[in-house]
Chains A and B, each alone.
Chain A
Amino acid sequence: KNQVEQSPQSLIILEGKNCTLQCNYTVSPFSNLRWYKQDTGRGPVSLTIMTFSENTKSNGRYTATLDADTKQSSLHITASQLSDSASYICVVRGSNYQLIWGAGTKLIIKP
């Protein structure tokens, strides 16, 4: 069964600290993987896309990694800011453009 699992469910860190969010998937065949950021009460916004051949991609303080062999991705946030408080959602595109969404990790940055 195609699934995307994210961990942890929620995370609280102090402003300025780093954190890493995990995404494990069992989607096959694999086309690509995206990370979205969703502020409370708003729609998700795409942060980055990872294709099969990419291991690492950065977008400012966000760095995504992909290990296609172990079917794992991570999103690392460096020097966290209060505005990073949000839910981070991993979504994998499988066959026929089907999207399989993770439940998200809720990140809270405390001052």
Chain B
Amino acid sequence: DGGITQSPKYLFRKEGQNVTLSCEQNLNHDAMYWYRQDPGQGLRLIYYSQIVNDFQKGDIAEGYSVSREKKESFPLTVTSAQKNPTAFYLCASSLSEDSPLHFGNGTRLTVT
């Protein structure tokens, strides 16, 4: 079955540590996205990539980094510079910029 796999589902880290969230897709989509979801707010775009080896900052990129070395993979690193990293992180992909987004089932990150 085609889809997006995010791992792990739950992640706990201490303040000051970097952490990497995994996102893999087998939909053969060119575009991939990382969103952050907080209670009572709409999804906020962190980074997106339209093609391998290229990515752009979204609305809240500070404290995050990404890479796109393979079409299938778009890992997100939450660095210690992110002031409030505890959140639900969603990875998505789309066939084109005007197509619906296909989401993974998210990673809930808790930093204490």
Give the B-binding residues of A (Cβ under 8 A): 4, 9, 31-32, 34, 41-46, 49, 89, 91, 93, 97, 99-104
Q: How many A-B residue pairs have CB under 8 A?
A: 42
Give the A-binding residues of B (Cβ under 8 A): 4, 40-45, 90, 92, 97-98, 100-101, 103-106, 108
Nearest chain-A residue to B92 (Cβ)? A43
**A residues less than 8 Å from B4 (CB atoms):** 43
Q: How far is the CB of A100 from chain B (nearest CB, A)?
A: 7
Asked if residues B98 and A97 are in contact (CB atoms below 8 Å), the reply is yes
Nearest chain-B residue to A97 (Cβ)? B97
Nearest chain-B residue to A101 (Cβ)? B42
Most buried by A among B45, B92, B100: B100
Asked if residues A42 and B42 are in contact (CB atoms below 8 Å), the reply is no
| Contact of A43 (CB < 8 Å), options: B44, B98, B104 | B104
Beyond A43-B90, A49-B100, whether A104 also contacts B106 by CB under 8 A is no
Q: In the bound complex, how far is the Cα of B47 from the Cα of A56, in angstroms?
A: 33
Asked if residues B105 and A103 are in contact (CB atoms below 8 Å), the reply is no
Q: In the bound complex, how far is the Cα of B104 from the Cα of A100, in angstroms?
A: 19
| Contact of A4 (CB < 8 Å), options: B42, B44, B97, B100 | B42
Beyond A42-B105, A44-B103, A45-B103, whether A103 also contacts B97 by CB under 8 A is no
Asked if residues A99 and B40 are in contact (CB atoms below 8 Å), the reply is no
The 10 A-B residue pairs whose C-beta atoms are closest, nearest first, are A43-B103, A101-B42, A46-B100, A97-B97, A101-B43, A42-B105, A103-B42, A43-B105, A44-B103, A43-B104
Can you report 20 residue pairs joining A to B where beta carbons are below 8 Å apart? Answer: A4-B42, A31-B98, A34-B100, A41-B105, A41-B108, A42-B105, A43-B103, A43-B104, A43-B106, A44-B101, A45-B103, A46-B101, A49-B100, A89-B42, A89-B43, A91-B43, A99-B45, A101-B43, A103-B40, A104-B42
